[in-house]
Amino acid sequence: MDLENAKAQMRKGVLEMCVLAVVAERETYPPEIIERLESVNLPMKEGTLYPLLVRLKSDGLVDYVWREGIKGPPRKYFAITEDGRAFLGELAASWRELVSAVDRTLALPSSRQAPSPGDPPPLLHIEPQQPFDDERS
């Protein structure tokens, strides 16, 4: 289990919201979306983005038009729809709830500090515990 994998797993759940947020900012096309997300440290690959945009489009959360660029092939410029903007609002609210829940978990006593040398070794040398509330006789 490596840290990189864990970080990737954490990112997975928010990519959809972040793409929607970037598209909500203004019309863009996929390579630009990727650049933007990378610029805030949220790497995303082509093979992830294109299918995601297809999903968002078929759910009516974004729409696109073909536009000719100054050079190269035509681009799909995406914009958010009204439904998309409403959904993004809900996603952002859920995100804030999640952040609050996770922070509450991380703030639990003993999960706070890094291991300091000289601490009493906490590993399974705990005396047999008194049950508190859940064992109704």
Partner DNA sequence: ACAAGTACTTTGCATTACAAGGTAATCGTT
Partner DNA sequence: AACGATTACCTTGTAATGCAAAGTACTTGT
Residue 50 near a second copy by CB under 8 A: no
Query: SS3 sequence, 60-93?
Result: CCEEEEEECCCCCCCEEEEEECHHHHHHHHHHHH
What sign results for the dihedral spanned by CA atoms 18, 24, 30, 33?
Answer: negative
Minimum separation from the CB atom of position 24 to DNA (A): 18
Let me know: does 44 contact 32? Beta carbons within 8 Å.
no
For the chain, the helix, strand and coil percentages under 3-state DSSP, each to the nearest 5: 50, 10, 40
Minimum separation from the CB atom of position 30 to a second copy (A): 13
Locate 31 and state its tokens: 């390579």
Residues between 49 and 108 that touch DNA (CB under 7 A): 50-55, 68-76
Residue 74 near a second copy by CB under 8 A: no
Site for a second copy (CB under 8 A): which residue of 47, 105, 118, 120?
105
Site for DNA (CB under 7 A): which residue of 24, 29, 79, 81?
29
Residues at the interface with DNA (CB under 7 A): 5-6, 8-9, 11-13, 15-16, 29-31, 43-48, 50-55, 68-76, 137
